[in-house]
Structures are given as structure tokens and as C-alpha cells.
A = this chain, B = another copy of it.
Amino acid sequence: MELSNKKWPLDFFMSQRQEVLKTWPTGADVDLDEAIGYQKGIPLDRRFVTKLNEAQKSRKTLVQPRAGVPLISEHIALLSHLEKEGEADLLPTTIDSYTRLNRYEDAQRGIDESKATGKAMLNGFPAVNHGITGCRMVTSALQTPVQVRHGTPDARLLSEITLAGGFTSFEGGGISYNIPYAKNAPMKETLYNWQYCDRLVGLYEDAGISVNREPFGPLTGTLVPPCVSNAVAIIETLLAAEQGVRNITVGYGQCGNLIQDVAAIRILEKQTNEYLERFGYKDVTISTVLHQWMGGFPQDEAKAFAVICWGSSVAALANATKVIVKSPHEALGVPTKEANAAGLRATKQMITMLADQSLDDGGRLEEEMSVIREETSCILERTLELGEGDVALGTVRAFEAGVIDVPFAPSRYNAGKIMPARDNNGAVRLLDAGNLPLNEKLLRFHRGKIHQRAEAENRGVSFQMVIDDIYAISKGRLVGRPH
């Protein structure tokens, strides 16, 4: 079937499904009716959507970690710890990198060696290898709803197994789990594969089972201009809605400047709803997630706490529906459960402490929101144009043309022409806008901001600025100034 943003016919989906379930033995256990029956048995208060909706209504910000280890019992112990000692409102199951690339044999080797050495040899939970039974052991052991978090370009089998396994939310998307997470995956292919996942979620929705979906907002986590990540989130939302998804959390990775970050989250929610309405998708509920700083962390734990807390403040002041939490071990390795829980507790304190405050709707915030809105529109409208009205096709062409362009991405299907850098107040701007279809006014705005910084630093505009910015947070700054 040619790629287009059209809801997949059921029989086409079902025929694909036959193939997908064969790609690893555990696939054979998935029976959709049985799975829907199992999901129906999950109490409402253990479902992701319930928690998100409640939080949105009461303008609370929920707290969620990342976490995953190779073995089932250890994974349950880990999540229980984060639930109790971490006071997590939502739980994750982070999938290991082999599974993400469908390398299930390697994942098996990781499981075996982890058992043998008593050390975690995988960086996450290999859900496909553990199969439905393994997944259900995990999801049923906890009071708190659990989400699958991964980075899988082809997550078809993973979605089948984990949804049947009792997870009530599934992260990812055809762009956001391709460009930052793959080198050789054609955009066409990953959009297509994610239509599968979304269609599957749509089937659950049709059966009255509400499953949350979450495009991965931060992309490469490294100086991603808000307009780029917001455009991607909106596209993935439209693609998911078309396949029948009804509950979507759009995400954004903290850039570091308070005004820009709050503006980005606020306008992301607004603009997503606007595009949904424009394309006639009704009954889709949108919530937001802020990811605490996704770039390089300081190694010192006290300093890492500061980075974590700053992200938490921003989430609270922006009234994000949830915040994804880092740990004080971030710079060093996958955190122990204690370090993970400590990151959560610091975040919880910050979030609840700031629950009754939000950022002043002053001039600079409005200004920043309108800049991001305009940039994002430029990108989305050009994308739609390229796709002759079809956002799926448009996305493929937009990436070819560099109209959407993610900095520092590993994928060869990403142009890699834009170069971001911070302005004098730490907001992420474009040092080189590459082929992003920004209008002349916006380009002038970016140039002006970067030059202002260069002048303040008494140096020319150069790649060295970008490098300095990449290291900055880990060295205790936001803007990488020369010494």
C-alpha cells in the first residue's frame, strides 16, 4: 500500500498483522480478542488515560521516571521501588536498545548474560522476549499505570505484545522514533510501521479501551529548536488521530530558557488542538509532557539535582500535564533504583511546592509564543504543501528537502543542515536555518539574536559556539561562553 494519511482498512491491517506476529515466537501468543478482554479487566484507576485526564482537570503535573532492567522480577522490584520510594504518579517500562532494533537474539543474549553475571547487561526491559506473560506479570504487580517507553523505529510487534501485556500507554511515532534512534530507516517505512501501531491502538479504542499515545518530544535532546519538535509532535498527532487514536500527550524537551520553555509547551498544546480541529479530528484529548533536560548532564550528583529541579520548575510553571524525570546518575549510567527515586522525590517536591504558581503572562512570554507558533506554521504549511495536502507524504518529502530538520540526528534521512545555538539569554535559536522554510522576518529574528550573543561574547559566530553550548549544562552553564 502506498503511504498516505488514510485510516488503514481493517482487513489490510489484519493481513499485515499475520506477518508481524511471526517475527518472533512470542508473537504467536497474541490474540486480540483475548487481549481486549484482559485490558477490560484493568481497573480504571490503573489506566494511564484516567490519571492524565484527572491531572489535566485539576491542573496538576504528574511525575514519571524512565526505568527498565533486563529481568522480570528485578524490573518489578524496580518499578515498585519507584512507586513507593519515588512517589511516582506514572510508571514506565523502558525497552532495551536491541529490542528497539528488533534484534531479539541479541536481547536474548543480554537476558542470559544478565542472569549469568548477576549484572544488568541490557539497558532496558526486553518486552518482546519476555512476551505477554512477562509483561502481564509486570503491569499487574503495580498500583500505578505503566507506559512503554522505547525508541523503536519498527515497534509493530512490541506494540502488539505490550498492549496485550496490559500496558495502557505507548510512546513513540514514525518520526520521533526514527530520526533520533536510527541510522538507516527510511521515513516512508517508519511512518508506515507507526500507522500500524496507531491503527492497533485505534482498535482498542473501538473496543472501548482507552490507550494513551505519546510522540517522543525531545528528539535528539540536544539544542532542538522548539519549532522543529513542535512541528513533529503535531504531525505525529495528526497521523495517530487518523488511525483512531483518541488520547495523545504531546511532548517537549526542556531547552533551558524559562520563557522559551513555558512558551513552547503552551503553544504546543494550543497549536496541536488547532490542527486537529482544522483536519476534523474530534474527540481527541491532548495533554502535555515536559522532559527534564535531555542533553549532557553534569557528573556531580548535587549539580545533577539542580538540573533536575530546574526542569521540574519549568514543568510546574508551564502547567505541563506530566514531567519525565532524570536521575542524579544521568551522566554516568542507567541509575540505581535509589538514584532514580531520589530524582523523582526532588521533582515531586518541586512540582507540589510550585503547584499554585504559574508564569506571568507577560510580554516576553506572549512574544515567544507567537514566534514559535509562526515558525511551526511555516514548517507545517510547507510540509502539507509538499504532500499536496497529505501530511504523511508531506513528511517524507519535508525530510528529504530539509524542511523538517533535526540537529545532531544519526539518521541519514535527516538533512542535518540546520545549526542551533543559544542566544544571549539562553534560548535556542538558529545559527544556520538550513532549509527550514522560515519567512524572512523570522530568519532576521534568529540572525539578530545570534549576533547579539556573539557581540556580547566578543567573538564571531561559529561552530565553536555550538560545541560550547553542547557542553554548557554539564559544565554548569546554559550558554557556553568563551573563558
Interface stretch (choices A151-159, A239-247, A351-359): A351-359
Do residues B345 and A302 form an inter-chain contact, with CB atoms below 8 A? Answer: yes
Known: A360-B360, A425-B356, A478-B356. A346 touches B258 (CB 8 A): no
Do residues A306 and B312 form an inter-chain contact, with CB atoms below 8 A? Answer: yes
Provide the residues of chain B in CB contact with A361, threshold 8 Å.
362
Q: Is A184 an interface residue (CB 8 A)?
A: no
Nearest B-chain residue to A361, judged by Cβ: B362
User: Chain A 221-242, CB within 8 Å of chain B: the 1/0 string?
Assistant: 0000000000000000000000
Do residues B478 and A355 form an inter-chain contact, with CB atoms below 8 A? Answer: yes
Q: How far is the CB of A299 from chain B (nearest CB, A)?
A: 11
Provide the residues of chain B in CB contact with A313, threshold 8 Å.
309-310, 313
The answer for the CA separation of A231 and B478 in the assembled complex, in Å, is 36
Q: Is A65 an interface residue (CB 8 A)?
A: no
A 345-391 contacts with B by CB, 8 A:
345-350, 352-357, 359-365
Do residues A302 and B303 form an inter-chain contact, with CB atoms below 8 A? Answer: no
Tell which of B298, B355, B362 touches A363, judged by Cβ atoms closer than 8 Å. B362
Q: Is A115 an interface residue (CB 8 A)?
A: no
Tell which of B305, B317, B357 touches A309, judged by Cβ atoms closer than 8 Å. B305
Number of copies: 2
Do residues B345 and A300 form an inter-chain contact, with CB atoms below 8 A? Answer: yes
Q: How far is the CB of A290 from chain B (nearest CB, A)?
A: 16
Known: A354-B310, A357-B426, A424-B356. A346 touches B302 (CB 8 A): yes
User: Chain A 242-280, CB within 8 Å of chain B: the 1/0 string?
Assistant: 000000000000001111000000000000000000000
A 437-483 contacts with B by CB, 8 A:
473, 476-479
Q: A307, A353, A424, A473 — which one has the most chain B CB atoms within 10 A of its CB?
A: A353
Nearest B-chain residue to A259, judged by Cβ: B360
Q: Is A67 an interface residue (CB 8 A)?
A: no
Classify the interface of chain A: helix, strand, loop or mixed: helix
Provide the residues of chain B in CB contact with A349, threshold 8 Å.
298, 300, 302-303, 306-307, 476
User: Chain A 420-437, CB within 8 Å of chain B: the 1/0 string?
Assistant: 000011100000000000
Tell which of B303, B345, B425, B426 touches A345, judged by Cβ atoms closer than 8 Å. B303
Q: Is A342 an interface residue (CB 8 A)?
A: yes
Nearest B-chain residue to A258, judged by Cβ: B357
Q: Is A343 an interface residue (CB 8 A)?
A: yes
Provide the residues of chain B in CB contact with A312, threshold 8 Å.
306
Q: A313, A344, A365 — which one has the most chain B CB atoms within 10 A of its CB?
A: A313
Do residues A364 and B360 form an inter-chain contact, with CB atoms below 8 A? Answer: yes
Do residues B479 and A356 form an inter-chain contact, with CB atoms below 8 A? Answer: yes
The answer for the CA separation of A301 and B309 in the assembled complex, in Å, is 13
Provide the residues of chain B in CB contact with A347, threshold 8 Å.
306
Provide the residues of chain B in CB contact with A363, threshold 8 Å.
360, 362
Known: A305-B302, A345-B300. A356 touches B426 (CB 8 A): yes
Tell which of B259, B345, B355, B473 touches A353, judged by Cβ atoms closer than 8 Å. B473
The answer for the CA separation of A365 and B361 in the assembled complex, in Å, is 11
Q: How far is the CB of A316 from chain B (nearest CB, A)?
A: 10
Provide the residues of chain B in CB contact with A425, threshold 8 Å.
356-357
A-B contact pairs, 9 of them (CB 8 A): A259-B357, A302-B341, A302-B342, A302-B343, A306-B346, A310-B313, A356-B479, A357-B478, A362-B365
